[in-house]
Amino acid sequence: NAGVTQTPKFQVLKTGQSMTLQCAQDMNHNSMYWYRQDPGMGLRLIYYSASEGTTDKGEVPNGYNVSRLNKREFSLRLESAAPSQTSVYFCASTSYWVRTEAFFGQGTRLTVV
Amino acid sequence: GESVGLHLPTLSVQEGDNSIINCAYSNSASDYFIWYKQESGKGPQFIIDIRSNMDKRQGQRVTVLLNKTVKHLSLQIAATQPGDSAVYFCAENGDNNNDMRFGAGTRLTVKP
């Protein structure tokens, strides 16, 4: 039981490049989330998916797109990376019955130069 | 917009003392308030939650207090240990109960 798995763990991009951050959970959770964490800013919600087939914007969705591929997988795409998107990205999931207990991945440290 | 925030960014306590971490919130519509712990290099981990219709909830060595009058949330850690050193975040479940939003965090350092 791996929990929430994120790939890659580290990534360096040049401004304007695109990439997709992958997230998968094996806990049969309904809801999945993408957060970014900047120093001193805490975690900010980018997008979330309450259930398979639905996605909604969070606090800071600009510059990102998401896909809930199936119940297990929720990907985050940066179409044209900018230095302001340098951050640590966390994926999380919650069950339908216990929505307060989020399980987080180990994070992806992204640097855009 | 409404958000969750924290009073202090850092807190240093002596091992064995009790710790109190505070959080202010502004969204009265939130159904649950939650505390998470984040150790260096890891993702946040759930500690305890409290429903908006409660004032107090206790866990193992932790107590969460909710004061709806002043929109204040606190996490009390009893007999703080070196392993408690981490960043602590408060969070709230949003109006639709499907999104979870976090405050900025408080770094707790436990001195031996």
Angstrom distance (rounded) from CA A24 to CA A71: 9
Nearest CB neighbour to A107, from listed B36, B43, B102: B43
pLDDT in tens, A31-43: 999 999 987 678 9
Q: Residues of chain A with pLDDT > 70: what percent?
A: 98
Omega before A39 cis (within 30°)?
A: no
Say if A34 is an interface residue toward chain B (CB within 8 Å).
Answer: no
Of A39, A29, A41, nearest to A92 (Cα)? A29
Query: What CA–CA distance (Å, rounded) separates A30 from B99?
Result: 12
Nearest to B44 among A44, A100, A104 (CB): A104
pLDDT at B5: 52
Which pLDDT value is given to residue A97? Answer: 79
The candidate with the shortest Cα–Cα distance to B74, out of B5, B23, B12, B9, is: B23
Distance from CA of A21 to the nearest CA of B (A): 16
Contact between B98 and A102 using a beta-carbon 8 Å cutoff:
no
Cα(B35)–Cα(B45) distance, integer angstroms = 9
If pLDDT is split at 50, 70 and 90, which confidence band does A99 have? Answer: confident
The per-residue pLDDT for range B70-102, each reduced to its tens digit, is 999 999 999 999 999 999 999 998 656 667 888
Residue B24 carries which DSSP code? Answer: E
User: Which residue carries 């340098």 as its tokens?
Assistant: A86
Say yes or no: B28 contacts chain A, CB-CB below 8 A.
no
Average pLDDT score, chain A: 94
| Residue closest to B65 by CA, chosen among B49, B84, B81 | B49
pLDDT digits (tens, 9 = 90+) for A31-80: 999 999 987 678 999 999 999 999 999 999 999 999 998 999 999 999 99
Specify the pLDDT at position A100. Answer: 87
Output the pLDDT for position B42.
92
Residues of A in contact with B99 (CB under 8 A): 33, 45, 48, 56, 58
Per-residue confidence (pLDDT) for residue B1, from 0 to 100: 37
Query: Which chain A residues are closer than 8 Å to B42 by Cβ?
Result: 104, 106-107
User: What percent of chain A clears pLDDT 90, i.e. is strictly above it?
Assistant: 83
* E strand intervals along chain B: 4-6, 10-14, 19-25, 32-38, 45-51, 56-58, 62-67, 72-77, 86-93, 100-102, 106-111
The amino acid that residue B99 corresponds to is D
Q: Which residues of B14-48 are buried (b: 16+ CB within 10 A; e: fewer)?
A: eeeeebebbbebebeebebbbbbbbeeeebbebbb
Percent of chain A that is helix, strand, coil (3-state, to 5): 5, 50, 45
- In terms of Cβ atoms closer than 10 Å to its own Cβ (0-12, 13-18, 19+), residue A43 is buried
In angstroms, the separation between the Cα of residue B23 and the nearest Cα of chain A is 13
A contact test, residue of B90, B92, B99, B101 with most A CBs within 10 A: B99
Give the mean pLDDT per block of 10 residues along chain B (112 residues).
Answer: 54 96 86 93 94 95 95 96 95 75 90 92
Binding-face residues of A in 44-63 toward B, CB within 8 A: 44-45, 48, 50, 56, 58-59
